[in-house]
Amino acid sequence: MAAASASTDYDWSVRSCWFLSLLVGTACARSAGPPALDTLIGLEAPLLPGPGLRIAIPGQVFQVPAEIVVDVSLPMTLVTTGCLDSPMVGAARVTITDPLGADEVFPVTRLAGLTVAGRRLVPMQAGLVNGASCVVVLGTELLVSTALQLDPSRRVLRFVSSRPKEDWVVWAEQLGGEVQVLELTRHPKHDWPLLAARVTQGENTFTGAFTLSTRERASRIFGAPMRQAGFTTTAELLQKLELPRELLPLELSSFQGVAMDTVELSPGVGTRGLSLSLVKGAPSHGVVGLLAADAWGRFEVTIDVGAGVLLLHRPRLLAAGQRFQCARGTQPPSEDACFELQQAGVGKGLLVTATIWRPLLDGGRLYLDFAGVTSACRIGFTFDAGDRGRNTQHVVPWSRLFETMKPCAEALSAAREVSLALFEDTPLRECPGVCAFAQNLRTGQVSCECQPGPLGLPAEAERQVLERLRGALQQKQAPAAEPEDP
C-alpha cells in the first residue's frame, strides 16, 4: 500500500447516491452497538505489542480483529480485503501518489463497522487493497483538526486536538526536560508533511526535505542525493571487506542501504547509528527520502500536521565523564531517572516495556526483579551500544522460553509484578542487539528474544557486519599518513 496524494475519476453526485444505496441496504443488519462518531480526538490506545517500536494499534471491523495504522501522508483511508466479508465496489477509483514510487490505483469501497480503541466510527469511503489479513490505514480525512502523541516508554498513541503552533511552544516550555519544536512544511502539490534533516556518514553530510511517515518501520533515502553527498552503500563496503562466509547470510546480498553515523532533525538532535534503506533513482517529487519511527521514535513525540509542528521531548541529561543522570520536569536529577519500566498483565505473564534515556557507550543490561517468584534463571534486557531513547517490549515469559527453559518459563508465568533490580554497563554478548534474555543461574544457558536490526539480518551476523562496515568507513576517510623524512 502506498501513502501520498489522491485524485478520483468519477462524478461525486453519482458516487454519493451509490454509497447511500449501500448504506440503506446494510444498516438494518448491523445497526447494533454504540453510536458511531466521526472523530478520533480524545482516544488513547496501546500500540500492538512487540520488541520493536511500531506505530500500529488494535481495532476491529465488525467482529474481525484489525491492525490499525495511522498515516499522516495518506489522503484517503485504505482497507484490505481481509477485513470485509464481501466488499462492494463500483466504478469509482482512487489514485494514490507514493512519495517514493509510482502512482497506484485502488477501487473504492464502503468501510462500515470500524472500531478504534473502543470508539465506533461512522461509515466511510476507503480504497480497497488486496490482503488476507485485516489492516486499516487511516488517512488524513480522519485526522482533520487532530494531532498525534506517541509515548514510546508506555507504548501508547493518543489522538488530541490540533493547536496553533504558538500554543504548542507554550506547552513545550511547561514540560521541562529536553524539548524541541520543529517545523513541518507541506508539499506544494501533494500535501505530504515534510521535515528538513541532515544525514552524516563520516566527513560527508547531506541536508534535504524528507517525508514524515507514521506508517513505515524504516527510514529511506533516494540513490541520487546519496551519491551527490558522496555516501558509500553497504554493498560497496562489503566488497572491500574480508568476512567469513558464515557471516554473510543470503539476505545481505539483497539489502540496499546506507549506514549513517547520524540523522539530525535539528542541530545535535536526532539518532546515531541508523541504516537507511536505499530507493533507486532520483526523487520525482522533490523529497529526498522518508523518515520513519526509527529516526524520531526515541522521543516522546507530538505530530500536528495542521499546525506544522513536530514536537520532541525527553528527560534532560546531565553527564560527568561516563556517569549520567536524568531529570524530568522539576524533579532533581538522578541515575535512576534514566531508566523507565512499564508493565501490564497479559495472559500468563507480564508485558514489560523498558526505556533507557541515557546514552550507552558500550551497551548495557537491565536486570529485572519479579516479586514473589523464585526461579533458577535471571531475567533482563540487554542493549548494544547506542544513542538515548532505546526502547523494547516483551511478554515475560516469551513463547520460545517454554521450549528452551521450561522450568524458568513456568515459574515466571505466575509473575504479577516486576521492578528494576540492577544495571550493568556491559551488554550480554550471547544476545547481540536489543533483546530480552533469560540466563540459567546453574548452567549459564542463555535464551533470547531480540528486536530485528536495521538490516533485518540475524542479530549476531548483523552486529559483526555493521562493526566492520564502520571500521571500513573510518579507514576509508582517514587522512593519508605523511611520509617520514629520511
Could you tell me where the DSSP H helices lie in 160-233? Answer: 165-175, 223-228
- Give me the number of domains the chain comprises: 3
- Cα separation of 370 and 414, whole Å? 9
Query: Hey, is 356 helix, strand or coil?
Result: strand
- Reading the block at residue 159, the C-alpha cell is 489522538
Q: What is the pLDDT of residue 31?
A: 45
3-state secondary structure 90-154: EEEEEEEECCCCCEEEEEEEEECCEEECCEEECCEEEEEECCCCCEEEECHHHCCCEEEEEECCC
C-alpha distance from residue 251 to each of 50, 257, 296, 430 (Å): 22, 12, 26, 22
Q: CA-CA distance, 338 to 340, in Å (whole number)?
A: 7
Kindly state whether residues 424 and 412 are assigned to the same domain.
yes
Q: Do the domain assignments include residue 157?
A: no
3-state secondary structure of 173: helix
Task: For Cα atoms 179, 195, 284, give the angle at the middle one, nearest 5 degrees.
Answer: 170
Mean per-residue pLDDT of the chain: 85
The amino acid present at 60, given as its one-letter code, is: Q
Q: Are residues 290 and 380 in the same domain?
A: no
Instruction: Please provide the DSSP assignment of 279-292 as one string.
Output: EPS--SSS--EEE-
Identify the three-state secondary structure at position 174.
helix
The CATH number assigned to the domain holding 202 equals 2.40.70.10
Strand-pair category, 269-279 with 220-222: parallel
222 pLDDT above the threshold of 60:
yes
Q: Per residue in 285-323, pLDDT tens?
A: 889 999 999 999 999 999 999 999 999 999 999 998 889
Kindly tell me if the per-residue pLDDT of 166 is higher than 60.
yes
Contact between residue 228 and residue 205 where contact means Cβ atoms under 8 Å apart = no
**Cα separation values, 442 from 175, 232, 446, Å:** 47, 47, 11
Question: Of 314, 331, 355, which residue is a domain's last?
Answer: 314
pTM of the model: 0.85
Is residue 427 scored above 50 in pLDDT? yes
DSSP 240: T
Pair 310, 341 in one domain: no
Q: Is 476 left (phi over 0), alpha (psi -120 to 50) or beta?
A: alpha
Establish if 461 belongs to a structural domain.
no
Q: Are residues 46 and 115 in the same domain?
A: yes
Q: Is residue 467 part of a domain?
A: no
Say which CATH number the domain at 46 has.
Answer: 2.40.70
**Quick one: CA torsion of 284, 312, 276, 186, rounded to 10 degrees?**
0
Q: How far apart are CA 144 and CA 77, in angstroms?
A: 13
pLDDT reported for residue 18: 38
Same domain, residue pair 77 and 185: no
- How many angstroms separate the CA atoms of 168 and 89, rounded? 42
Residue 129 in this model has a pLDDT that exceeds 70: yes
The tens digit of pLDDT for each residue in 409-425 reads 999 999 999 999 999 99
Please indicate whether residue 28 or residue 476 has the higher confidence score (pLDDT).
476
- Domain assignment present for residue 479? The answer is no
Q: What is the pLDDT of residue 211?
A: 96
> Does the pLDDT at position 174 exceed 60?
yes
pLDDT over 80 at 366, yes or no = yes
User: Residue 472: is its pLDDT beyond 80?
Assistant: no
Find the largest Cα–Cα distance for the chain.
Answer: 96
Domain with 47, as residue range(s), is 5-23+34-146
